[in-house]
Amino acid sequence: MLALIGGPIIAALVSSSAALASDGSDVRVAIQERRYNMAHEFSFSFGSMPLDPFQKGWTGGFSYTLHLSDYVAWEMLNAKVALLSSTDLRDELIDTFAVSEDDFAAPKFMVTTGVEFSPIYGKMAFLNDTSIHQAAFVGAHAGLVFGDRYSISETLKDFRPAAGIGVGYRIMFSKLTSLRIDFRDFLAFRRAIRSNESVQIENILLITGAISFNLWRDDA
């Protein structure tokens, strides 16, 4: 059955290819080189951690990324600190049921490294007047999360190994500056620090926007 169906299809493809060759037509595809090439990227980010039902986090961070090629980059360091705000649910548990504030311990600091792959680059026209250069990328990241405790020493003891994946989008303003938006989802291994705690796997979603500076380029 496959031979009966496939035979005429293959014959049609061969005959159409021969017809194109016989009439001298030639199909050409033009692909423009990337206008903006990344090299040493320094980023300053602001964002949020919206998943924790007890404490919402607003983050500020810094990262350095070494772009090895147009497609592959190594984010050598990404450091974030969170400003945590208590939700109504957390306040009710503390006020009504006398739950200790230290029992929640949402992520306070985060230090990660990772690899990014950027297979998509293009440009589009805005109002048929301005060209906007853009790129999309994916990444895999790993590092440490530090829980919010009553002192810095206790916070540093509460380190949680974490790994996750992310997607991002970048708009280039010039050879020097760009805006990037990242969505990263981590799973962190939360150890039992206090006697009333248990081992947990927590999900941390990071949504950030960053201004990036591209320095020491070959075309500078």
Q: Please write the tens of the pLDDT for every residue from 63-110.
A: 999 999 999 999 999 999 999 988 888 888 888 877 877 778 889 999
Give the pLDDT of residue 86.
87
pLDDT bracket for residue 124 (50, 70, 90)? confident
pTM for the full predicted model: 0.80
Give the pLDDT of residue 5.
47
Select the CATH number that applies to the domain covering 37-215 from these four: 2.40.160.20, 3.40.50.1000, 3.40.50.620, 3.40.50.300. Answer: 2.40.160.20
- ∠ CA 136-181-166, nearest 5°, is 65
Give the pLDDT of residue 62.
98
* Of 66, 50, 34, residue with least CA distance to 212: 66
pLDDT bracket for residue 29 (50, 70, 90)? low
Q: Is the pLDDT of residue 167 over 80?
A: yes
Give the pLDDT of residue 2.
45
Higher pLDDT, 219 or 75: 75
Query: How far is Cα 108 from Cα 110, in angstroms, rounded to an integer?
Result: 7
pLDDT bracket for residue 58 (50, 70, 90)? very high
pLDDT bracket for residue 7 (50, 70, 90)? low
Give the pLDDT of residue 101.
75
Q: Please write the tens of the pLDDT for every residue from 41-55.
A: 999 999 999 988 899
User: Which stretch of 16-30, 86-100, 162-176 has the lowest confidence by average pLDDT?
Assistant: 16-30
- Give the containing element (helix H, strand E) for 17: helix 2-22
**Residues 154-181, mean pLDDT to the nearest whole number:** 94
What percentage of residues in the chain have a pLDDT greater than 70? 83
Both tokens of residue 160? 């949680």
Per domain, the residue ranges of the chain are 37-215
What percentage of residues in the chain have a pLDDT greater than 90? 53
Query: How far is Cα 217 from Cα 67, in angstroms, rounded to an integer?
Result: 10
Average model confidence (pLDDT) across the chain: 85
Rounded to 5 degrees, φ, ψ at 95 are -75, -40
